[in-house]
Amino acid sequence: MLHLALLSAVLSAQPELREVDRLELPSDHSWLGTKVGGISGIDYLESWDTWAMISDDKGQHGPVRGYLAKIQLTGDRLTNVEVTTLLPMSWGTGELFKQEGFDPEGIRILPHKDFFGDPTMVWVSEGAGTRGVPTRVYEVCTGATRMDTWTAPESFAPKRRSGIRNNRAYESVAIIADRVAVVATEEPLRQDGNTYVRLSTLDLNRPESEPVAQLAYPLDDAPTGAPGGQNGLVDLVALEGGRFLSIERSWNMAAQQSIRVFIVDTAGATDVLEVESLNSGGFTPVEKTLVADLGDRYGNTEGMCLGPVLESGERSLILVTDNNFAPGMPTIFSLFAIVDPGGDIKPADRLGTRESVLGGH
């Protein structure tokens, strides 16, 4: 009976995070002639042994851009971030994306190889709600040339009482199967109240198609105690079995920030694609369980991804901060080991069967 009790305890144990190391890059650091800053998304593809990052620079400190990099992990040390390729985002004509209307956030690598033998990438832009610029998903090649786009549906169009909130639109993207993505806004749509964010499933084989399904994700309450408290979903990582890791960031006008990591289970959640307002109730949201409350020790964290397996045998997790290009504010890369006695944290297969997640769509 004792052995059964121990086994039950192991199987029911929740994953935890153990901080291993961190690397701080000063605010005057540069990569390939561009100022380092605004890093709002990060990803790693083990089969490619390459990391991708994106800056939310809107063209004020260089081109709208991403990066390819080698992040060097030596034992229990995060020793260097070596950028190998600058990705200045451009149209098929070669014209660079202009400042107006582009606000890059999350980025993910697609393992399918393009004509030149390299994977492609998808990234999300919050757009510019106050100027009527929609939030979008972009697919680019390693030359950073736009290949396809997915504009958010009409219900996301920024209006007085509905649609995205300014600077609170598409913030994260996760790859759940072969060319199938889930994207999420940072905060709820205006018509959805203040609790639920929509997780939208996109078929990346159908450019400019609308979501085929949506699930409701419950945000934690905004912090109190100082003016302007807000809380939002800033990144998603797809796991096996229809689950995710999510990261929420709260802040207020006193520049106080808090970071929390959750494991998200979609089993039993109902499709809310046809639900006009998530204030109406009558649906089952996804369930989330707190993995780690990191408090205010990690700054303005916006990017998260699973990394390689460490020498300890534990899967690594990388967080990165957006320093908003503030003088004296470093960009921080934090390395964690995932303590996972139940084996819950396994990355989703990015070449997995599409039908298993798209159903009849």
Closest listed residue to residue 119, CA positions, set 143, 95, 136:
143
Percentage of the chain modeled with pLDDT above 70:
94
Q: What is the pLDDT of residue 15?
A: 94
Closest listed residue to residue 83, CA positions, set 100, 71, 99, 101:
71
pLDDT in tens, 303-312: 999 999 999 9
Between the alpha carbon of residue 117 and those of residues 45, 49, 84, 142, 300, the distances in Å are 15, 15, 17, 10, 35
pLDDT in tens, 243-263: 999 999 998 877 778 999 999
The answer as to CATH 1.10.287 being correct for domain 16-353 is: no
DSSP string, 49-68: TEEEEEE---SSSSSSEEEE
Please state the rounded mean pLDDT for residues 27-43: 95
Largest CA distance in the chain: 69
Edge-to-edge strand list for the sheet holding 243-251: 230-239, 243-251, 257-265, 287-295
Question: Domain-by-domain residue ranges, the chain?
Answer: 16-353
pTM of the model: 0.93
Which residues pair with residue 199 across a beta bridge? 184, 215
Confidence band, pLDDT 50/70/90 cuts, at residue 101:
confident
Tell me the pLDDT of the chain averaged across its residues: 90
Upper half-sphere CA count for residue 357 (Cβ side, 13 Å): 30
The first and second tokens of residue 347, run together, are 């990355």
How far apart, in whole angstroms, are the C-alpha atoms of residue 332 and residue 353? 36
Q: What is the pLDDT of residue 7?
A: 43
Query: What SS3 state is found at 154?
Result: helix
